[in-house]
Amino acid sequence: MAFSKTIDKPLDEARTAITESLAKAGFGVLTEIDVAATLKSKIGVEREPLIILGACNPHLANEALTVDVSFALWMPCNVVLQKAGDSTTISIIDPHDIIKDDVLKPLADKAEQLLTQALEQTS
C-alpha cells in the first residue's frame, strides 16, 4: 500500500528533506495538511504530529488526465510524515494501489519509480 522509510530527523527537517527529494524527481507539493493540528482544533483530540503532503508531478498528471479526466480523483499522491520518537517515518502511497487501469499502468510504473527514488534519496 505504501513505501516507507524512517530517517533520523525531526518532523520539520524530514518535511524539508522529502520535499527537496520530491522536487528533484519532478514533484511539487500542492497541499499540506497538519492532521494533528486539524483534529485538535476541530474535535479537541491530541495526537502525535502527523503531516500529509500532496505531491504531484505535472508531466505525469497531464498525461493521465489526457487519458481519463477522472484520474483527478486520485490526485495528488499522498506523502505522510509521522513522528517516530526522535525520528520521522515517511510513507508514500504506491501508485499501483490507486491506478488499476491498464492504459495508465505505464504512468503508475513511472510514478512508482520516481517516488521510490525520492524516498530512497531522502536522509
Residue range 20-27: mean pLDDT, rounded = 97
> Which whole-number Å values give the CA distances from 103 to 49, 65, 68, 83, 106, in the listed order?
38, 12, 10, 37, 7
**pLDDT tens-place string over residues 53-66:** 999 999 999 999 99
Q: Report residue 101: phi and psi, to 5°.
A: -70, 125
Q: How confident is the model at residue 101 (pLDDT cuts 50, 70, 90)?
A: confident
Note the pLDDT of residue 100.
83
Q: Which domains occur in the chain, in start order?
A: 2-120 (3.30.310.70)
**Predicted structure pTM score:** 0.92
